[in-house]
Amino acid sequence: MSQPTQSATPSASETPTSVSQPLLSVRNVNVGYGDTQVLWDVSLELRQGEVVALVGANGAGKSTLLAALSGLLRVWSGNIDLAGRDITRMSAERIVRLGMAHVPQGRRLFSGLSVEENLRLGAYTRRASSKSEITADLDRIYTLLPKLRERRQQLAGLLSGGEQQMVAIGRGLMARPEVLLIDELSLGLAPTIVDDILAAIDAIHQDEGLAFLLVEQDVQIALERADRGYVLENGRVALSGPAQDLLRNEAIRTAYLGI
């Protein structure tokens, strides 16, 4: 896919939420591993209640960006603001406390612990919360993701891939975030299971009003669910704009949708 000559970024009149300040603002971020640079001057925004898709081919830098946003990877230069606060060089734990949780690629559950024990670990930064608050939040997660209630005492390592993904999402929600980063939601899952998880995310979005940054290799799945999208190519933002506009973009349809 060639580098687009024009951005599809919407005007203020095209985006209802544009009148509000961004909840998450990423400006000219450069990141790498060792001496190898992976991201070049990446900028994006996420507003309250938005679903934003970050799409691109394998190796484009999507997971690297999420690791930088959540404090798992040091940012070389640039700035990341969460709710107007500079979090660029904050620890991962502090970023969670400030309202951003990360559902990592591959789920990374504790396979020898039960579903409920894994969920409770999502609230580890909430030391001031009472037991009754944690219990109430668990019940909320079980209402949003009812399959987990049935599996609450089962070891996480014995769950199906789709069920493990739901546990990972539920664990992220237990931190009571304002922003939820989800990395490769559909990876390795059957289409019917992906549909179930997407339906659960829709329910969470409607019930919780969270902002989601959804990283997904399946471009169509991501953009069909998103308000806006960003396309990463070789570590750079190649295109951005309303999700439906990106779905109709000829370069994206050719490169990613096989049309």
CA angle 60, 197, 108 (to 5 degrees): 60
- For the chain, give the percent of residues with pLDDT over 90: 57
| Contact in structure between 210 and 179 (CB atoms under 8 Å) | yes
pLDDT digits (tens, 9 = 90+) for 3-18: 443 444 443 334 333 4
Average pLDDT, the chain: 86
Q: Decide which of 72 and 204 is more confident.
A: 72
pTM of the model: 0.84
Q: Is-contact 176 162, C-beta < 8 A?
A: no
The C-alpha atoms of residue 42 and residue 65 are separated, in whole angstroms, by: 9
The domains located in the chain, with CATH, are 20-110+177-255 (3.40.50.300)
What mean pLDDT is predicted for residues 127-133? 74
Give DSSP secondary structure letters for 151-218.
Answer: TTTSBGGGS-HHHHHHHHHHHHHTT--SEEEEE-TTTT--HHHHHHHHHHHHHHHHHH--EEEEEES-
Cβ neighbours of residue 131 under 8 Å, at least 6 residues apart? none
Q: Which two tokens stand for residue 174?
A: 């237990």
Q: Which pLDDT value is given to residue 118? A: 93
> Using one digit for the tens of pLDDT, what is the confidence trace for 157-195?
898 888 898 899 999 999 999 999 999 888 777 888 888
Instruction: State how far the Cα of 25 lies from the Cα of 86, in Å rounded to an integer.
Output: 9
- E-strand ranges in 47-168 read 51-55, 77-82, 85-86, 100-103
Residue 86's contacts (CB-CB under 8 Å, 6 or more residues apart) are 79, 80
Say if residue 1's pLDDT is above 60.
no
pLDDT tens digits for range 191-248 = 888 888 888 888 888 877 889 999 987 888 889 989 999 999 999 999 999 999 999 9
For residue 114, the 8-state DSSP code is B
